[in-house]
């Protein structure tokens, strides 16, 4: 158990969870492969559902966006979350098509 910065509060490692939005099932699978290469085995996955709650992502990903949540077997130190978000942003760019994101990853 590590201590967080200068506080006396002990911080335990936590479960890494990621919410994914993707333009297609193929893009979703590619994102999960990239995540597993970086963070290890996925140990739990939600079902894949249509994401039609907002039009916010449609200009980039089209009109058939899918959503899935995944968790990873390996626990992480919560202080790494900022770094992990930066890494997942790079994954989004790597999967983009003509400058448009095909996947959104929120750890």
Give the tens place of pLDDT for each residue, 21-79.
Answer: 999 999 999 999 999 999 999 999 999 999 999 999 999 999 999 999 999 999 999 98
Q: What is the pLDDT of residue 75?
A: 96
- CA 90 to CA 104: how far, in whole Å? 11
């Amino acid at each position: 158990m590590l201590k967080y910065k200068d506080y006396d509060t002990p911080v335990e490692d936590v479960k890494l969870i990621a919410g994914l939005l993707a333009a297609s099932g193929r893009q979703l699978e590619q994102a999960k492969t990239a995540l597993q290469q970086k963070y290890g085995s996925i140990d739990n996955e939600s079902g894949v559902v249509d994401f039609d709650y907002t039009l916010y992502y449609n200009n980039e990903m089209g009109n058939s966006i899918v959503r899935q949540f995944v968790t990873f077997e390996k626990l992480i130190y919560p202080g790494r979350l900022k770094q992990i978000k930066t890494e997942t942003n790079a994954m989004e760019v790597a999967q983009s098509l003509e400058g448009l994101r095909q996947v959104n990853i929120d750890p």
